[in-house]
Amino acid sequence: MYYPYLRGRQFELIAIRELASEEALQGAVIPIIEPVKEAINNLTLAHTIFSERAQTAYVIANPVVGDAQGDGRHFLEYLSSLELGTYLPAFHYHANRGYIEECIDEFNLHDCLLICPNDLSVEDADFKEVAGLDQVSIFTLDDPGRNRSLNRYLRSLGKGCIRLDDLFERQTRNADFLDIPTHRFSEEHLYFAEDHFLGFSDYTALASHYSDSGSTPRAVVIHLTYRNDQNQIWIRHFTSETNDSISNVQGKFAEAAAKAITYCRANSLTNSAIQELEHYYEDEHYPGLGTVKKISIKNHILVVAEYLRNR
Amino acid sequence: MERYDSSQLRDYSSLFSRNSVQEWMQGDFSSIQVKVKRYDNTWFANRDASYLDYLKYVYGVLESHYQNEYILKNTFLNEWLIKELGELNSKLYSEFRVGDAIADLAMFNGTSKVFEIKTEFDSDRRLKLQLENYQRAFNKVFLIIPSSKIKLYERYDKNAGIILFDSNSEDSFEIYREARIQSKVDPSAIMNILHTSEYKEIVQDYFDNLPAMTSFSQFNICSSLIQEMPNSVLNEYFINQMKKRGSKNALSRRYFREFNQICLAMKMDEHDRRRMLQVLKSRIEE
């Protein structure tokens, strides 16, 4: 199972909503959503589709980034107002045993996901208490190779373990992607089961770094992942060429889209995200940078899901 | 006169940074509480003191001892630009992007003026590039510099005016050299400043229609048309568009003048300004 880790922003939620609508996730993908704003409108829109399509997702109760960060109860109150089973609770663990235990009791939670940083010590008695709770059934562990003892300890509990890898290499400026050739992105879908993980997680084709301030970029980049003939996932950064000022973002999108479409056609790559990009390109319509991000997310999840469903 | 350590002054100056303002606007006063605790602990005992009072006090200290960009910009706003702003149909911007540069202040009324501030703490490394960019789009370009730095800066572009800043003199700002008026603007520089809706509106208004175009081709088509416009007409359209952009400046000549530059930098309207001041009127708590 693939557990894409997404910040609960508008276009991230639209991406998974659309994928759930087209039945592209079910049985292969369970998103982990970290809300970044208190407003729950977009979470609710996604919930409606998910619930109609029998798709589940984890929602983090205590985000560590964004306007709503902190060990709060806001999102648990929200989850408790919904029908059971579609949104499942998740917690970041950061020396907050008391908070997690209180929330589990107060909201009568079960099947919780615990997100574990890799600097945790297996000697941490509070962590062991939380990890051992019956109501905690699954963990994610950042880059498990960096904390083998924690990895081994979590495995010994006989619960589900997901590896979370930070794969996307952020650049200071978008224009820097012009010089980056296509490169290997992920192989976890090939080996997670053999390595006895229940699943694997990443930040899709986005950086793990969170920033809520954005400015008009000098370059437009469309990040597309694809499977090569050994089934490894590679990534290409289709980048605009006219990057000398911030003006004409539409023209820059046209340049990046032309490169992406040419490559996809030459290599027979297609899915609903690539088709959407083709429509914008053929209609000479600039859909906005949020949609460009949505296409990257959808494409990556589709690439992974297609492999998992057909293996 | 009381003496202050330079690290304390630097520390104080962070209270007027964008991040701090965003925090207090959310009701989070921790950045102010840290400074009170570190330097001005007695303020906690004063039951009548608000965060607003404390920030005004810190501003006073900085004004007398640490002329950083915030203080310089705010003083220039209060002593110079705000008079012009009040009298005419004008618009003022802080951090205004022009090509490869970001101008400290830009003002649009009958003409376009841009101001680049170099404090004691700034280098002149990017100045040549900045001035080249400004000259392409603005009618008047000014440099604001400390009196002590005149030798360094007067050799730059002779068309740029120079305004000297001297905090010890009664009139803090003095014109050293008037700016030479550039009546000709570069249409491609103007295109790079205009937003899509702005350049479309100019084309629509001047040519009485918008040609058929897609979102991929609109920039190039409008750019060619804008090149055909008489330069003085384009300049006028540009100034009018900049005067229309965003909300009306919320600055006050009389009240809470310490916060004018914050309002400008954060693009606050009257409502935002009132809300910020209201939030800051909360009593200081430990």
Q: In A, what residues contact B, Cβ < 8 A?
A: 244-248, 250-251, 253-254, 283-286
Q: What is the pLDDT of residue A159?
A: 94
Of B99, B194, B215, the CB nearest to A286: B215
pLDDT digits (tens, 9 = 90+) for A29-39: 999 999 999 99
Does residue B77 fall inside a structural domain?
no
CA A271 vs. chain centroid, Å, equals 18
Asked if A255 contacts A220 with a C-beta cutoff of 8 angstroms, the reply is: yes
Dihedral sign, Cα of residue A139, residue A140, residue A141, residue A145: positive
On the question of pLDDT at B46 being above 90, the answer is: no
pLDDT digits (tens, 9 = 90+) for B52-72: 999 999 999 998 888 888 998
Stretch B142-162: mean pLDDT, rounded? 92
Residue of B nearest to A288 (CA): B215
Question: Does the distance separating the beta carbons of B192 and A245 come in below 8 Å?
Answer: yes
Using DSSP's 3-state secondary structure scheme, residue B28 falls into: coil
> B146 and B196: one domain?
no
DSSP string, A276-309: HHHHHHHTT----HHHHHHHHHHHHHHHHHHHHH
Query: In the structure, what pLDDT confidence band is assigned to residue B1 with cuts at 50, 70 and 90?
Result: low
Tell me the pLDDT of chain B averaged across its residues: 91
Stretch B245-262: mean pLDDT, rounded? 86
Domain count, chain B: 3
Question: Does the distance separating the beta carbons of B220 and A251 come in below 8 Å?
Answer: yes
Helix A148-156 crosses helix A125-132 at what angle (to 10 degrees)? 40
Structural domain range at position B200: 187-244
Q: What is the pLDDT of residue B87?
A: 58
> B96 and B155: one domain?
yes
Does residue B104 fall inside a structural domain?
yes
Amino acid at A91: F
> B131 and B61: one domain?
no
For chain A, which domains are there?
Answer: 1-165 (3.20.20.60)
On the question of pLDDT at B88 being above 70, the answer is: no
Q: How many CB pairs under 8 A join A and B?
A: 32
**Domain boundary pick from B177, B211, B227:** B177
Q: What is the pLDDT of residue B121?
A: 83
Query: In the structure, what pLDDT confidence band is assigned to residue B86 with cuts at 50, 70 and 90?
Result: low
- This prediction has a pTM of 0.87
ipTM greater than 0.90, yes or no?
no
> B146 and B126: one domain?
yes
> B226 and B266: one domain?
no
Question: Does the distance separating the beta carbons of B192 and A247 come in below 8 Å?
Answer: yes
Question: Does the distance separating the beta carbons of B99 and A250 come in below 8 Å?
Answer: no
Does residue B231 fall inside a structural domain?
yes
Measured between alpha carbons, how far apart are the two ends of chain B, in Å? 29
Asked if B113 contacts B138 with a C-beta cutoff of 8 angstroms, the reply is: yes
Cα separation of A291 and B236, whole Å?
36
pLDDT digits (tens, 9 = 90+) for A150-189: 889 998 999 999 999 999 999 989 999 999 989 999 999 9
On the question of pLDDT at B169 being above 80, the answer is: no
- Chain A interface mutation, best of B26, B133, B199, B215, highest count of A Cβ atoms under 10 Å: B215
- Residue A12: how many CB atoms within 10 A of its CB? 25
> B132 and B198: one domain?
no
Q: What is the pLDDT of residue B120?
A: 84
Task: Give me the CATH number covering residue B153.
Answer: 3.40.1350
> B267 and B238: one domain?
no
Q: What is the pLDDT of residue B251?
A: 83
Using DSSP's 3-state secondary structure scheme, residue B92 falls into: strand
Q: What is the pLDDT of residue A84?
A: 85
> B191 and B171: one domain?
no
Q: Write out residues in chain A with pLDDT < 50, as ranges.
A: none
Q: What is the pLDDT of residue A1?
A: 96
Does residue B79 fall inside a structural domain?
no
Does residue B80 fall inside a structural domain?
no
> B36 and B102: one domain?
no
Query: In the structure, what pLDDT confidence band is assigned to residue B89 with cuts at 50, 70 and 90?
Result: confident
**Domain boundary pick from B135, B157, B177:** B177
> B223 and B147: one domain?
no
Cα separation of B100 and B129, whole Å?
8
Measured between alpha carbons, how far apart are the two ends of chain A, in Å? 12
